[in-house]
Amino acid sequence: MEAKKKRMLTGDRPTGRLHIGHYFGSLKTRLAIQESGEYDPYILIADVQALTDNFSNPEKVRKNVREVILDYLSIGIDPKKTTIYIQSMIPETAELTVFYSNLVTIARLERNPTVKTELAQKREVFGESVTYGFLGYPVNQAADITVVDGAVVPVGEDQLPLIEQCREIVRKFNSIYGETLREPEAILSNTKRIKGLDGNEKMGKSLGNAIYLADTEEEVNKKVMSAVTDPARIKKDDQGHPDVCMVAYYHNLFSTPEEVQCVCEECKEGKRGCVACKKQLAKNINTFLAPIREKRKYYEERPELVENILKEGTEKTKKTAEETMRKIKKAMKLNYFEN
């Protein structure tokens, strides 16, 4: 019999639609993993985790669960190959989070670099008093990974401390209750973070500098026209510096190598105006997004199909989660009424 493939798990918080930064940062890697057939891929929409800092805004989370699944399907995540499910539909995860919460100290959670950075940014949400739920979300994430027996987790660099924390919890669990759980491994995606249209190091919804996978042609055209170019270039025939221009930066992602070379050379020689350059870029981004929009429309028009995909994914995941919980409860001597 063919050996069982290792399970891969990854996911997103449904707090907004996904943009091209997500595409180059993580979605592209997930597609490649799906197509390679090397792992058994699972993707979760982390609604419970999204609520840890959006608890007073349940409509936002609900709405974005739908947006995120449409984003996944539109870029080619194939439910026949990848299991997609909603985190809250697997209540075993919540139960496991409680068990794990004994295995991690408050000091350790406060030291988690990812949580630390996020907390600094979130002072305006929580003020000085941080919720127990937010501080503990890495524990919840450890439960996400282990409840499905996740072996590999493809993540960006910012998520590495969360995987490390999960590994620590697993080791602690196994040392106290006996070898039960698998220690997951992170696969670091080699793509780097995509800058925003305004030149900001990060593309993000809160920064208002993102191109969304679901943007219309008009929206893309308008956004590209507002992209930051070389500030030293005032007149069309001034010599430009593509290395400081966001339009050139995006040409590198969406245009052919020949086009990039031509665009940069003409810019440096002052032969190419920024408007023409932006128009060409917008056209290439729209060419890239056209099949994605088409697929999105297909699924948007078939809500019952999308619901079925999620239901099937959830059912399949639930079976695995129940199996894991049986093992965990046995190890923790919580297997009452079982022989």
Q: Which stretch binds ligand TRP (CB under 6 A): 62-70, 115-123, 139-147, 323-331?
A: 139-147
Q: Is the dihedral of CA 37, 40, 45, 51 positive or negative?
A: negative
Q: Judged by CB, which is closer to ligand TRP: 27, or 44?
A: 44
Name the E strands within the chain: 7-12, 40-45, 83-86, 152-155, 185-188
Judged by CB under 6 A, the residue of 18, 46, 130, 194 near ligand TRP is: 46
Q: Which stretch binds ligand TRP (CB under 6 A): 17-25, 42-50, 75-83, 282-290?
A: 42-50
Work out how close the CB of 185 gets to ligand TRP at its nearest, in angstroms, rounded to a whole number.
12
Applying CB under 6 A, does 251 fall inside the site for ligand TRP? no
Q: Judged by CB, which is closer to ligand TRP: 159, or 209?
A: 159
Judged by CB under 6 A, the residue of 7, 27, 40, 49 near ligand TRP is: 49
Cα separation, 61 vs 64, in Å, equals: 5
Applying CB under 6 A, does 47 fall inside the site for ligand TRP? no
Applying CB under 6 A, does 10 fall inside the site for ligand TRP? yes
Cβ(135)–Cβ(110) below 8 Å: yes
Judged by CB under 6 A, the residue of 40, 53, 67, 144 near ligand TRP is: 144
Cα separation, 225 vs 221, in Å, equals: 6
Sheet holding 83-86, edge to edge: 83-86, 40-45, 7-12, 152-155, 185-188
Q: Judged by CB, which is closer to ligand TRP: 148, or 306?
A: 148
Q: Which stretch binds ligand TRP (CB under 6 A): 6-14, 217-225, 231-239, 319-327?
A: 6-14
Q: Judged by CB, which is closer to ligand TRP: 46, or 77?
A: 46
Cβ(45)–Cβ(78) below 8 Å: no
Applying CB under 6 A, does 141 fall inside the site for ligand TRP? yes
List all residues 6 or more positions away from 225 whose beta carbon is below 8 Å from its beta carbon. 275, 278, 282
Cα separation, 249 vs 208, in Å, equals: 18
Of residues 147-206, those binding ligand TRP (CB under 6 A):
153, 159
Q: Judged by CB, which is closer to ligand TRP: 10, or 314?
A: 10
Applying CB under 6 A, does 248 fall inside the site for ligand TRP? no
Structure tokens at 138: 């890495």
Q: Which stretch binds ligand TRP (CB under 6 A): 41-49, 60-68, 254-262, 265-273?
A: 41-49
Cα separation, 191 vs 194, in Å, equals: 9
DSSP state of 212: B
Cβ(126)–Cβ(191) below 8 Å: no
Q: How far is CA 121 from CA 128, 192, 204, in A?
A: 12, 21, 13
Judged by CB under 6 A, the residue of 51, 70, 115, 145 near ligand TRP is: 145
Structure tokens at 95: 């139960």
Work out how close the CB of 49 gets to ligand TRP at its nearest, in angstroms, rounded to a whole number.
5
Query: Nearest residue by C-beta to ligand TRP?
Result: 46
Cα separation, 199 vs 195, in Å, equals: 6
Structure tokens at 325: 């919980």
Work out how close the CB of 337 gets to ligand TRP at its nearest, in angstroms, rounded to a whole number.
32
Site string for ligand TRP, 97-136 (x = CB under 6 A): ----------------------------------------
> 79, 46, 24, 10: which is closest to 306 by C-alpha?
79
Q: Judged by CB, which is closer to ligand TRP: 11, or 313?
A: 11
Binding residues vs ligand TRP (CB under 6 A): 9-13, 44, 46, 49, 141, 144-145, 153, 159
